[in-house]
Amino acid sequence: MFLSVFDIFKIGVGPSSSHTMGPMTAAARFLDDLRSGREREPGAGEVAALGCSLHRSLAFTGRGHATDRAVILGLCGFLPATLDPDRAEALEAEVRATGMVTPPGLPPLRFAPANDLVFDYDRTLPGHANGLVLRAFDAAGNLYMEETYYSVGGGFVLTERELAREAHGGADAFHDEKAAAGYPFPFGSAAEMLAMGMASGKSIAEMKWANETARLSPGEVRAGLDAIWSAMDDCIGRGLRMEGELPGGLRVRRRAKHMHEQLLAERGRNIAQPHTVNDWLSVYAMAVNEENAAGGRVVTSPTNGAAGVVPSVLRYYRDHCIGATEEGRRVFLLTASAIGGLIKHNASISGAEVGCQGEVGSASAMAAAGLCAALGGTNEQIENAAEIALEHHLGMTCDPAGGLVQVPCIERNGLGAIKAVSAASLALRGDGTHFMPLDNCIEAMRQTGLDMSTKYKETSLGGLAVNLPEC
């Protein structure tokens, strides 16, 4: 599957790409199948009711990640990119009160969340830790239609059949599919990416641009990249303005606004320490992830839980780096998406599958590569920067307190941004030669995720999630 920059960076809503955006998208896809009737069970009457079961990670941390709300809104016809928060809130309350949904193009359907939305903690679906099953019934209670979906991270959703088909494809199929589709640089690994860059004389961003403009016009790609950055920057701005407690019951207070005011007050007074630049990186990242935790509008980068890293480093590039340009921002995003696509294809960006190394670790690698490219790094230096950043997140667990994307997720994005800048800087000090190839590091991350206990993969059953303050 060719992963466009617009697949890696998707505008949506918090708090989670896998637990909020994915289930909402799955529910909306199920409505499309109901409208078409193509998967209808033989002999069933007209569709009259709906049901949904959430499994493993979606069950264990679903309430904290608003998965139940996402399914309800998806079954009402909403999608993450076009969600109207005010209308959604009213409609969710109406569904909970009436036990009915009225999706466009379908008759009113019985769906009482208290009974028809089941958190199944015992049954694990075979394809992925983030599994949900959507069902439709006729008036007599006979099964009308059923589909299993997997939310595989970053807002990506696959049916059971699609997941099996992707699993049996492999690197050769990935390469062949992209080449057959007319993409001029069908790299499925970092080694292929570097080889194609060497043969063509093009940078990673130029190869990515050529792939994107194989299906979209240059103007469309440029406008899309600018829209991604605008949404990221708007999210930072909102996070720097907002204050108060985040929802969910942990009583975590927003800190980005106060930190930002402190940093602004120190400007020009010659009192800031040199390491204050790390505080700027942290405050940009924390602003995004506080917005995400509040259910605000964010950009998957490559996930919601890691949505602050890339915007933070990109804002750092714009506001703090000498010689920053608009074109540099586009180069950053194109390069970062190329690295994110390699990680997703060859390992995972899902915290429920490989832990937070797949979320913040991937985001840090993407941001390091993007910054290195924007600052003039060679392809080899860019690959080195991504490897350094990912390498130093290996083994990182996903253990959100209370099942909420708050502790340690918000601060963790700030540290991921700091590591990204350090990795880019280290790579730019060298000539691109290094011991551990990025492909090997990605494979190490995949293997580490396979070996990692389920307790530490977005279930909130271990680590920080079970070591909470007494008071």
What's the pLDDT score for residue 180?
45
- Please check the confidence at residue 171 and state whether its pLDDT lies above 80: no
Q: Per-domain residue ranges for the chain? A: 17-166, 170-466
- Euclidean distance between CA atoms 21 and 79, whole angstroms: 8
pLDDT of residue 471: 53
CA 262 to chain centre: 30
Please tell me the distance from the alpha carbon of residue 338 to that of residue 233, in angstroms, as a whole number.
21
Q: What are phi and psi of 243, to 5 degrees?
A: -145, 175
Q: In the predicted model, is pLDDT for residue 271 greater than 80?
A: no
What superfamily does domain 17-166 belong to in CATH? D-3-phosphoglycerate dehydrogenase; domain 3 (3.30.1330.90)
Question: Model's pTM, two decimal places?
Answer: 0.92
Report the chain's mean pLDDT, rounded to a whole number: 94
Decide if pLDDT at 245 tops 60.
yes
pLDDT of 270 above 90: no
**Assigned token pair, 379:** 């392809």
Whether the pLDDT of residue 205 is over 80: the answer is yes
**Tokens 């586009």 belong to residue:** 330
d(CA 423, CA 384): 8
Q: What is the pLDDT of residue 252?
A: 97
Cα 305 from chain centroid (whole Å): 7
Provide the pLDDT for residue 178: 53
Model confidence at 165, pLDDT cuts 50, 70, 90, reads confident
Of the chain, the percentage scoring pLDDT greater than 90 comes to 89
